Amino acid sequence: MNPAPLLDVPELKAQADRTRISILEMLAAAKSGHSAGPLGMAEILTVLYFNVMKHDPADPDWSERDVFFLSNGHTAPVLYATLAHSGYFPVEELLTLRQYGSRLQGHPERTALPGLENTSGPLGSGLSQAAGYAYALQHIDDELHRFTYVAMGDGELNEGNIWEAAMFAGKYKLGRLIGIVDRNYIQIDGLTEDVMPLDDLRAKWESFGWHVLEVDGHDVAGLMSAINQAKAVAQKPSVILAYTVPGKGVPFMEYDYRWHGKPPTPEQATQAVAGIRQGAGA
């Protein structure tokens, strides 16, 4: 049994919008942080925490939980917002993002908040962390069927450490490991295919022995289906290439790499929040 609430498709869509609103509000309050990636990943984390993963906000160290590792740590606002809305800590605390003494720093620190499974900041490290955890589960966790999930940015795949971990996971057939790549085609310096081309990304992962799925990263039903398909593949790790729009839900941010590492002003955040609420019919 999963102690966390399970939402259906309309509820998941509404929760993703609430997550986006929180992201905008916390970034505007901080006057610092990353906008495009967190906004684009709202559906991914919503599906994980409100439908797919076994977890318990009242017992963050629950022995039967699935675990989530954030590798692209600069997208912390989407994880913080998701954890808060899941009940791990008060939603009001989100407005302390990046403030001195806050538990919500620019990159997550594992012991700072309940529900955080890893410290992330240096790009490329999360897949190694997740692969190590999945390797342990493969040896000690046969009855509980726990899964390890890890989110990665596409620009982050420039890091060699990612591919070392991919080799390790492929060799040991880590079927309890599911990676999700936020394929939004931007990174801080520009478009990924201009900075360091990644395609054919499917073929790259398959050559390392991974099962590969592709999905619209804003289609909550499609994400649930892809994750369930990945969970059914027992003899190899799986990776989901989730195609997302950077800055999703905020027209003046969408597809613009310059919003990768820039927060909205309070006025821009107010405008963006109003647009999201209007679009949701709220």
**DSSP code of 187?**
E
**Residue 68: its pLDDT value, please?**
98
Round the average pLDDT of the chain to a whole number and report it: 95
Phi, psi (deg, nearest 5) at residue 164: -65, -45
Q: From CA 168, how far away is CA 233, in angstroms rounded? A: 17
Burial class (CB in 10 A: 0-12, 13-18, 19+), 140: exposed
Nearest to 134 by CA among 100, 96, 165, 97: 165
Mean pLDDT value of segment 138-156: 90
Helix (H) or strand (E) holding 67: strand 67-70
pLDDT digits (tens, 9 = 90+) for 98-137: 999 999 999 999 999 999 999 998 899 999 999 999 999 9
Architecture of domain 9-280: 3-Layer(aba) Sandwich (3.40)
Report pLDDT digits (tens) over 14-35. 999 999 999 999 999 999 999 9
- Could you write out the DSSP letters of every residue in 220-257? HHHHHHHHHHHHT--SS-EEEEEE--TTTT-TTTTT-G
% of the chain residues with pLDDT over 90 = 93
38 neighbors 30 (Cβ within 8 angstroms): no
Per-residue pLDDT tens digits for 184-234: 999 999 999 999 999 999 999 999 999 999 999 999 999 999 999 999 999
CA angle centred on 51, ends 50 and 54, rounded to 5°: 90
Q: Give per-residue pLDDT as tens, 44-89.
A: 999 999 999 999 999 999 999 999 999 999 999 999 999 999 999 9
Global pTM exceeds 0.85 = yes
Question: Residue 121: what pLDDT?
Answer: 82
Is residue 158 classed exposed, middle or buried when 0-12, 13-18 and 19+ CB atoms within 10 A define those classes? Answer: middle
pLDDT of residue 62: 95
Residue 280 pLDDT exceeds 80 = no
Locate the domains of the chain by residue range: 9-280
Q: Taking 60 as the threshold, does the pLDDT of residue 282 lie above it?
A: no
